[in-house]
Amino acid sequence: MGRETDLAFDTVGHGNLRTAAALVGDRSRMESIVEPALADELGGQWITSDRSSQRLRELLDLCALGEFRVAVRKEYPLAASTHPEVAAGHGRGKVVLRIG
């Protein structure tokens, strides 16, 4: 069938992991941050994150050192409505609210 995919990382859900399962040679290298039950059912992994002020500080330090980069798609002042941009769901990078 051709070359297998090395890794699948699902950030969308909606059953897309089923498509990935047909493409990934080693299902243990199939990961999801949105569908833990489906990832488990298909032999993949569910990835969670440590959301804490300490972890945020570590990530900011990595950004300052240039070792971690976040793609910013668009930046808005705090008073702006970002709903249309976020609801579109397309595009690379994060939508950011600028404070101050």
Report DSSP letters for 9-68, one per residue: EESS-TTHHHHHHHHBSSGGGEEESS-HHHHHHTT-EE-----SHHHHHHHHHHHHTTS-
Is pTM beyond 0.75 here?
no
Summarize pLDDT for 44-94 with one digit per residue, the tens. Answer: 999 887 788 998 899 889 989 999 888 888 888 776 777 777 777 767 777
Helices (H) and strands (E) in the chain, counts: 4, 5
**What pLDDT shows up at residue 1?**
45
**What pLDDT shows up at residue 38?**
95
Question: What single-letter amino acid sits at 18?
Answer: R
Summarize pLDDT for 4-54 with one digit per residue, the tens. Answer: 888 898 988 888 899 999 999 899 999 998 999 999 999 999 988 778 899
